[in-house]
Amino acid sequence: MRQIELIATSTFGLEAVVKRELLNLGYDDLMVENGKITFKATEEDIPITNLWLRSADRVLLKMGEFKATSFEELFEKTKALPWDEWITKDGEFTVEGKSVDSKLFSISDSQAIVKKAVVEKMKTKYNIEWFKETGAKFTIEVSLLKDIATLTIDTSGVGLHKRGYRLASVEAPLKETLAAALIQLSYWNKNRLLLDPFCGSGTIPIEAAMIGKNIAPGLNRNFASEEWPRVKKEYWNDARRQAWDVMLKDFKLNIIASDMDKAAVEAAKQNAGSLFLEEDIQFIRKDFRDLNIKNDYGVIICNPPYGERIGKKEEVSKLYKDMGKIFKELDTYSIYVLTSNEGFEGLYGRVADRKRKLYNGRIKVDYYQYYGPRPPKREI
């Protein structure tokens, strides 16, 4: 089977998490750059990576990369790429683009040139002048960075954060891919208690449950490349069958999802129910100040209000101070807090062991990490 190159894209700050996911899936020939990880693969890996990557935004098929400082150069080098090996005679293809620090700064002109070049290549292949574009969808992207053009086709379609379980939502929900990354950046594992005292629509607890039970995040959705003849149906069927086989169906998790907002808790319950995770996540409607936390060596991962999109600044300041007082008593816990409030550590009353810069949508946030002691080893 011919080797191809795939690109797993990510939001800023999550490249290392996506790299680790790819390594765990068995891919070791990786090149990490800002916002993307390029790796060698085959057609069979398109279903596998789309089904299993938790923190990546998309999986792109890399068609080619070259220097382009003129539209003529962009046209000729794009036309030389093997588009006809992937795009079908009736394929519907659109071109998206972006340009940073390049001579070809007009995105619309670059898109038009690439579209024309692909059409010319297809004309040569199929010996026709007009294409119906009624078949499978192919989204091409021309990315120009410092005069280097990278041409890709999106294998995912809708972004990978769309898992298919979010039936109900609340204001300012956390993106599923970011929630999965927060968990993977923590010390939590399936044998430990996880508490999210500001669960909202349940994204962090649900993503944790999917990780704990080894549920492939893309198992309940479809992807653009499922309609591509080059990516055979048997590859998708095999990848999905394998995902079902490795799921830890009988493993019982200890996850608590709490929020003082009744609508949020109901939304979280509904979303978890769509994945049959009701037995693994305990839902509580309660102010975090009133929670009776009993387990030792637990992990708290939360995305409390920032004071920007929800609530008032004064209320949020008091909330952070109360968090510091209450969580201080949990001396065996590891605690992780995502917020855009730059004064968080001062309000919380403790400097984080580590602080990681991330983005929640377009909001710059920091992930404050407070490490607790390791749990004692269990006696065999």
**Statement to judge: residues 148 and 190 lie in one domain:** no
Any domain includes 170: no
Any domain includes 261: yes
- Domain at 343, CATH number: 3.40.50.150
**Statement to judge: residues 282 and 197 lie in one domain:** yes
pTM for the full predicted model: 0.93
**Statement to judge: residues 184 and 143 lie in one domain:** no
**Statement to judge: residues 349 and 276 lie in one domain:** yes
Burial class (CB in 10 A: 0-12, 13-18, 19+), 96: middle
Q: Which residues contact residue 377 at a Cβ distance below 8 angstroms, ignoring those fewer than 6 apart?
A: none
Determine phi and psi for 153, rounding to 5 degrees. -120, 135
- Domain at 95, CATH number: 3.30.2130.30
Give residue 129's pLDDT.
73
Query: The domain containing residue 197 runs over which residues?
Result: 176-215+246-370
**Alpha carbon distance 190, 7 (integer Å):** 29
**Statement to judge: residues 149 and 181 lie in one domain:** no
Any domain includes 225: no
**Statement to judge: residues 81 and 183 lie in one domain:** no
**Statement to judge: residues 188 and 336 lie in one domain:** yes
Any domain includes 230: no
Q: Which residues contact residue 312 at a Cβ distance below 8 angstroms, ignoring those fewer than 6 apart?
A: none
Q: Within 10 A of 34 (CB to CB), how many other CB atoms are there?
A: 9
Any domain includes 227: no
What mean pLDDT value characterizes the chain?
93
Q: What is the pLDDT of residues 101-112, one digit of tens each?
A: 999 999 999 999
Segments of the chain scoring below 50 in pLDDT: 379-380
Tally of structural domains, the chain: 2
